[in-house]
Amino acid sequence: MTRRELKTLMKTIDREMKRLRPLLPEIDPHDMHLILLQKMRPVGSRRFFIRAHGDGFVF
Amino acid sequence: MSFDEAFLDALVAALHRLKIDAVIVGNTASILHGAAVLTQDVDIVVRDTALNRKKLMKLAVELGGVETRLTDPSSSLDVRRIVNLSVPIDVMFNRIGGGLRFESLRARSVKISVGTQRATVASLEDVIASKEAAGRKKDLAVLPILRDTLAINRAREKREKKI
């Protein structure tokens, strides 16, 4: 994602947070932010897999 | 396209080419629904037919993998695993945990764009039901975040319907 796209995404998430927090007070705000960040970003920029790589793992 | 998206794109394209009607389940489905989790494999469920079993061998070859039987003593499910890939693919036949059958999963599934493809993805409600039924520690560990994701998805859908 470009810097501009990322800024727009963060603004959109902030707006969604303000709207959703009163509706879902039982959800931890940090968890909500994490979920919205994952949900609202394009599928292509989401992380799906932990893969074995050499002696360790990579995302 | 990221590695992860390219991998899923290639899988879904191969499923379409081979005319395998498959539903993506498990945590890959959760992530496609927006859950902030990670996984080590892709789980799919297909109808149990002789033709589908043949096609799965072709799928393994097309993707450059090898089909093996997955032995899981804690499960009565017949699971085939395609290995020798960057990410293993587990294939279940007819049903998954929670008594969820292919037809029901298919009927409630949604289409989600992945790369150049449209993937058939189990509903988040069904993924949660299957993880509750599986009851393993690794399944129970992700349930809170999946339930929160579902609550957020429902709240957002409700608003979209109002608009």
pLDDT tens-digit map of A14-59: 999 999 999 999 999 999 999 999 999 989 989 999 987 777 777 6
**Is the Cβ of B143 closer than 8 Å to some Cβ of chain A?**
no
- Higher-scoring residue by pLDDT: B70, B79: B79
B1 to chain A, any CB pair closer than 8 A? The answer is yes
Q: Which of B121, B103, B119, B127 is closest to B15 using CA atoms?
A: B119
Q: Tell me the pLDDT band of B159, cut-offs 50, 70 and 90.
A: confident
pLDDT of residue B75: 65
The owner of tokens 């498990």 is B26
pLDDT of amino acid A54: 76
Give residue B98's pLDDT: 82
Judged by CB atoms closer than 8 Å, whether chains meet at B155 and A20 is answered as yes
pLDDT at B54: 94
The structure's pTM equals 0.91
In chain A, residues with a C-beta closer than 8 Å to the C-beta of B114 are 43
Which residues between 26 and 55 in chain A have a beta carbon less than 8 angstroms from any beta carbon of chain B?
26-28, 31-32, 34-40, 43-51
Provide the CA A50 distance to its chain's centre, in angstroms: 17
Whole-angstrom Cα distance, residue B134 to residue B24?
A: 17
One-letter amino acid of B6:
A
Report which of B113, B129, B112, B134 is spatially closest to residue B121, judged by C-alpha positions: B112
The whole-number pLDDT of residue B72 equals 65
Residue of A nearest to B9 (CA): A44
End-to-end CA distance of chain B: 33
- Predicted confidence band of residue B74 (pLDDT cuts 50, 70, 90): low
Confidence of residue B87 (pLDDT cuts 50, 70, 90): very high
pLDDT-derived band of residue B73, with 50, 70 and 90 as boundaries? low
Instruction: Give the pLDDT confidence score for residue B9 in this predicted structure.
Output: 97
Q: Are the C-beta atoms of B131 and B143 separated by less than 8 Å?
A: yes
**Distance separating alpha carbons of residues B18 and B155, to the nearest angstrom:** 38
Task: Look at residue B64 and tell me whether its pLDDT is greater than 90.
Answer: yes
**How is residue B30 written in tokens?**
């959760």
**pLDDT above 80: residue B153:** yes
Measure the CA–CA gap between B106 and A36, rounded to whole angstroms.
Answer: 26
Q: State residue B160's pLDDT score.
A: 80
**Percent of chain B clearing pLDDT 90 (strictly above):** 80
* ipTM given for this complex: 0.88
| Mean pLDDT, chain B, integer | 93
C-alpha torsion angle, residues B91, B95, B98, B99 (rounded to 10): -170
- Three-state helix/strand/coil letters over B44-90: EEECCCHHHHHHHHHHHHHHCCEEEEECCCCCCCCEEEEECCCCCEE
Relative to beta strand B79-83, strand B89-93 is antiparallel
**pLDDT tens, residue by residue, B20-62:** 999 999 999 999 999 999 999 999 999 999 999 999 999 999 9
